[in-house]
Amino acid sequence: MSSYEVYPFFSFDIQNIVKGVQLSEKKKVLDIPALYVVTMTVFCGKLLCCRCSVMGGISAEPLSWRKNQLRLDGLKSLFLELTLLKRLFVSFVRWIGYDLGISPNQVTIGRLLCFVPGWLIWYYRYELAARFSCPWQVMGVIAILIVGTVIAFDIVDGALARETGQVSDEGKILDPLVDKVITYSTLGLFLPYIVKPIFYLLLFLDICSTFMRGSQGRGANQFGKRKAFSQNVAKLFFGLAALFSLPAFNLVGNLLLGLAAVLASMSVGIRAVPPKWWAMMQMVVPQLITLCNVLCGILAIWLAAHGHFALGAVSVLTAMLFDLGDGAVARKLGVSSNFGKRFDTIADMVSFGLAPAVLAVAVNDWRPLALALGAGYFLATIIRLYDYGRSKDITPAGFFRGLPSPAGAWLVVASVLFPVPWLSMLVMIVAAVLMCLFVVNWIHFNQIIFSLTPLEIFFCFALGLLLVVLARTPEVFAAGPIVIYAFSPKWRKPHRV
């Protein structure tokens, strides 16, 4: 019983299309035109910010941009209900395996053979551009497209092995080995822009993981898969930084590689722990991630005291990643404890209260006014964390009452990166007020990451680039996304039942 509300010019006969897709599902045959229309409806609906719902009947109701929340629940439910992308992907995998007769190991080797031309095109992009009389960026884009396609096919060989029952010990060794060659050959192109300790630590952990996978005969765990995703996105940012001369993207790439190193450490740790010990270790893993959060906050304070403000800001942003990770890991493992909750609160006080305040005060030469405002910001963080523990049951699901403390810390450390020191004092006041503004609801970070609209992504990048141009400092690009998030309650509001 799927229907939705869209703009009048999208009110074609969707019921027949849905019936056609459902009928094709029963026959195990793909109705490509119907799937295409529904997929394009989802995309266009998201792009035009149409309102969607899952209810009876079909109607068309134009929306006001200012007064109505972006609601795509209906089309998302329809999209998940029909699992269009999954069906298309499975059909593609079956076509490769059954119709073309290609084995998973052949796909893996083919990925490596196709990667070589892409790598060479990037390495010799200037010479090739001169040879063909075109901008070198054209060659760079071609290389990124080739390598990106090779990386995307990483999910095909594994899916093909499971679909056709061709899982083999050789494939379990060959696939991660080819992945490592592709990953580190690509990262080697950007080595001058990568933080060397992170690169070598990640390389060491990946080598350990590959040998352990081969000896244990086990596939990649969830931490390993997320590590690979973080690495691939980091490579994209390094490539875009080189193509469009955006040094700020190198910072994002290094942050993602740092996250990948953390995830790789967890992946290797899980493999190293014997199965009989893992039940006991489950309670410890989230606490270790929270400990990393605290250590990043302490490191930020030390860096601020020694005048390394940019590195201090990076430490606070890294603490945010650990803060997202400890809760997610605890939920994934199904573990919870009062100690863990209190430890997480203390970690947030240090990393998102004390550390940003010290950074802002230090950048203002420890002036009395800055000290007073820093103390006020720290107090506001404590109040915000206290209210969070007290009001979780009455806050709408997926939302915070008041600006979350990590977002307040992001605002403050982003202002520290500007060449105008007094700006950080002003931002501390604004962040403290927003954190204590309990009548306004901000959406969870983990909710908004996977539901960003194209318009929100555009404004995050546009504002970040505008700030870079105005401040003439690449690092201030980090302020763009958090400013958009600070204004997000204007259009992202809790559902009213």
pLDDT tens for 451-463 read 778 888 888 888 9
Mean pLDDT of 171-196: 87
Does pLDDT of 398 surpass 50? yes
Rounded average pLDDT over 109-123: 93
Distance between CA atoms of residues 201 and 198, nearest Å: 5
**pTM higher than 0.75 for the full model?**
no
Pairing of strands 441-443, 399-401: antiparallel
Residues 12-46 pLDDT 10s = 334 444 444 444 444 333 344 444 444 444 444 44
Q: Return the ∠ at Cα 293 (arms to 488 and 439), rounded to 5°.
A: 30
The pLDDT value given to residue 216: 58
For the chain, what is the mean pLDDT? 78
Residue appearing with tokens 């929306």 = 63
Residue 123: what pLDDT?
Answer: 93
pLDDT of 289 over the 60 cut: yes
CA 314 – CA 268 distance, rounded (Å): 25
Q: What pLDDT score does 406 carry?
A: 92
Q: Cα–Cα distance between 286 and 333 in angstroms, integer?
A: 9
Q: What's the CA gap between 426 and 411, in Å, rounded? A: 11
Q: What percent of the chain has pLDDT over 90?
A: 27
In the predicted structure, residue 292 carries a pLDDT above the cut 70: yes
263 pLDDT higher than 90: no
pLDDT-derived band of residue 356, with 50, 70 and 90 as boundaries? very high
Inter-axis angle of helices 136-152 and 104-123, nearest 10 = 160
pLDDT of residue 94: 85
Contact residues for 431 (Cβ-Cβ < 8 A; gap 6+): 377, 380, 403, 408, 409, 411, 412
For the record, the structure tokens of 349 come out as 């006080």
Q: Which of 267-276, 347-356, 377-386 has the lowest mean pLDDT?
A: 267-276
pLDDT band, residue 410 (cuts 50/70/90): very high
- The pLDDT of residue 217 is 54
Mean pLDDT calculated for residue range 272-292:
75
pLDDT, residue 165, reads 82
Q: What burial class does residue 435 get, using C-beta atoms within 10 Å of its C-beta: 0-12 exposed, 13-18 middle, 19+ buried?
A: buried
